[in-house]
Copies of this chain bind each other. A is one copy, B any other.
């Protein structure tokens, strides 16, 4: 419990479902590497509204803020994380050369946030949700299904929509044959679903999906 690398101190932690890893405005004393499970990064406005910034899953990196936390990190299920402490400055952030550039913690952390922006390129609810499901399935590493550890409300506040619209969008995607809702949390992509072929930042018919459509 407590690995040592050349410059950083790493601590392994286990979180129970619902447990909060850190709160918004806490001092940011380290960045996080998620080994298993899934979290929710939320920013709370003073009027009570909530913005879900990202849903880290196993392999993701987050909490890269310096200074104070911009969001809180809340466990959606039981999680294993490794916390890498730093001391307020970033001078020792890069402890070792990385053989594969794409897997460096810095890039993964940046990508996690940047990916969230892409959803807003889709004007309709069904398009946004479809893009989100594809992206989340890709990050889960399962090609033909998704296990959603978050609630409909979480998804809604991540995509800038309401829970009702999200629910309707699920129904519409299912009617279109693009997804299959086994349970509310378990979604399957039928074999020939166009969704499977599409990848994150790529364009597709999602732009044309409407709630009203068959």
Contacts and interface: CB of A to CB of B under 8 A. Distances in A.
A70 interface: yes
Interface string A81-93: 0000000111111
Contacts of A47: 203-204, 207
Nearest to A114: B113
A177 to B, nearest CB: 21
A107 interface: yes
Contact of A90 (B89, B106, B116, B123): B106
Interface in A75-133: 88-94, 96-99, 101-102, 104, 106-107, 109-110, 113-114, 116-118, 120-121, 123
A52 to B, nearest CB: 9
Contact of A94 (B51, B90, B203): B90
A120 B51 contact: yes
A103 B94 CA distance: 18
A53 B114 contact: yes
Contacts of A107: 64-67, 90
A147 B66 CA distance: 29
Contacts of A53: 114, 117
A93 B94 contact: yes
B46 A102 contact: no
Given A47-B203, A66-B101, A89-B97, 8 more contacts: A43-B121, A45-B203, A46-B202, A66-B107, A88-B101, A89-B99, A89-B104, A110-B110
